[in-house]
Structure formats: structure tokens, C-alpha cells
Structure 1
Amino acid sequence: MYTQIPFANDKVLGLRIEGKITSDMLDEICRLLDEKLAHYPKARVYVEMPAFEGMSAEAFFSDLKYSLGHWSRFEREAVVTDQHWLEIVVGLTGRLLPQVEVKVFPTCEVEAARDWIQAL
């Protein structure tokens, strides 16, 4: 399940994701990203993941395909989580795509994460 989190900076797509990401959920999220990218040359993504349980194999490959096709259109990504394994995965993503600023924040620093994703 996901819910949108509104931001004053309209380039930011804010999401709270809980549970497992399914293919249908990923399709909806990609549609939201496409809407941002239709209005801005680069978008930012903010995700809170308090109880993330992974993603289906189909969703994983769809996410990979989408990300590789749009990697140059993302400016920043902030992930808020206390799940250590997720910090590692997000850190690897940041190394694979060095042109995208990627930061992981613990849940206790949610306001710092929100400030960072919106900063100029």
C-alpha cells in the first residue's frame, strides 16, 4: 500500500510505502512520476518506508526497466527508513547512479529528509 505525501516543491513526488510493492502499485507510482516528468525536466522522489516488505519479482524488473529508462531525469531521492538492509540497497543504487543525489535518513530525522528533498 502507498499513500502520497504532498510537498510545497512540486518537483517532489512524496510517497509512504508499506508492505510489499506489487506490479499494479508500481504501475501507479510510475504514472505519478510520469506526471511530474511531463512538467519538469528533472524530478525528485521522497519515500518513507516504515514497514517495507520488498517487491514482487515482476515489480522489481518493471522498476529496473523504468529506472534505467529515466535515470537522467531524477535529481534527488530521499529514503526514510530504519530498516538496515534497505539502507544498504539504497546506498548501492546511489553508487550505481552517481548523477542522482541519494540520501537515506532514519525515521527520527524525517523533517531533515523533507527539508533536504525540497532544498534548491
Structure 2
Amino acid sequence: MFEKLSESSGNVVGYKVVGKLAPSDYEQLEPEFRALVEKEGSIRLLFDMAGYKGETAKGWIADYKFGREFHNKVQKMAVVGDTTWEKWLTHLAKAAYATDARFFPSADISKAWTWLRE
């Protein structure tokens, strides 16, 4: 599931990713995301991966489709976490979500928000 973070404002939006993602998670996120893109034109995105437990097989497909649909609308993307695979995930994000994607350790989440707002 995606939980919107309170630090979100304007075209800078963040989500805590919790549990194992399935297509229904992307279906719930899509209307909010689409409305934000329509309002702002493009967005800057933060994903806090601390509670992420992976994705179902169909979840990976939904993730890919979601990323391809909104790829040109995400200016910057910050991936926040503490594992090597989350850092690796940032490289995939460059192809699927935003060409300007960076990894930040959880302790540096405030730096991630600052970078997105620059």
C-alpha cells in the first residue's frame, strides 16, 4: 500500500511504501497521481521504502505500466531506504519513472525532501 506523507506539498509528493504491492495498490494510487499531474503538470516524487516487502508478480506488471504511463511527468524521484537492493532499485527507477532519480539512506530523508524541492 502507498501512504501519502504529510511533508507532501504542491508538486512534491511522497509516499511510504508498506507491505507487498499488488495491482490494487496501483489502482488506488492512480487517480490521486493523475489529478496531481493534471494540476501541477509534472511532479517530484519520494518513495520511503522502509516498509516495502516486495511485489506480487502481477504487482510488478502494474508497477511497470504505472511507471511507463507517468514517466514523462516525474521530474525527480528520491528513493529512501537502507538496503543495497533499494539502492539498486533507484537505477531501475531511472528507466521506468524519472531520469533524475537518487537514493537516500533513511537517516537522510530530510535531504531527499530538500533535493526534490530544489
Q: In the alignment, residue 14 of structure 1 is paired with which amino acid?
A: G
Report the CA distance between 1:99 and its aligned residue. 6.1
Unaligned runs of 5+ in 1: none
Report the CA distance between 1:28 and its aligned residue. 1.4
1:60 is paired with a residue of what secondary structure? helix
Q: Distance in 1 between matches of 2:23 and 2:44?
A: 22
- Spell out the pairing of 1:1-120 with structure 2 (5 A cutoff): 1-7=1-7, 9-94=9-94, 96=95, 100-119=99-118
Question: What is the CA deviation profile of residues 63-83 of structure 1, one whole-angstrom value per residue up to 9, with x for unaligned ones?
Answer: 211211221111010111002
Q: In the alignment, residue 105 of structure 1 is paired with which amino acid?
A: F
How many residues of Structure 1 are paired with residues of Structure 2 in the alignment?
Answer: 118
TM-score normalised by length of structure 1: 0.86
Check whether the contact 1:23–1:59 (CA below 8 A) recurs between aligned residues. Answer: yes
Unaligned runs of 5+ in 2: none
Question: What is the CA deviation profile of residues 26-69 of structure 1, one whole-angstrom value per residue up to 9, with x for unaligned ones?
Answer: 11122221111110221111111113111111121122112112
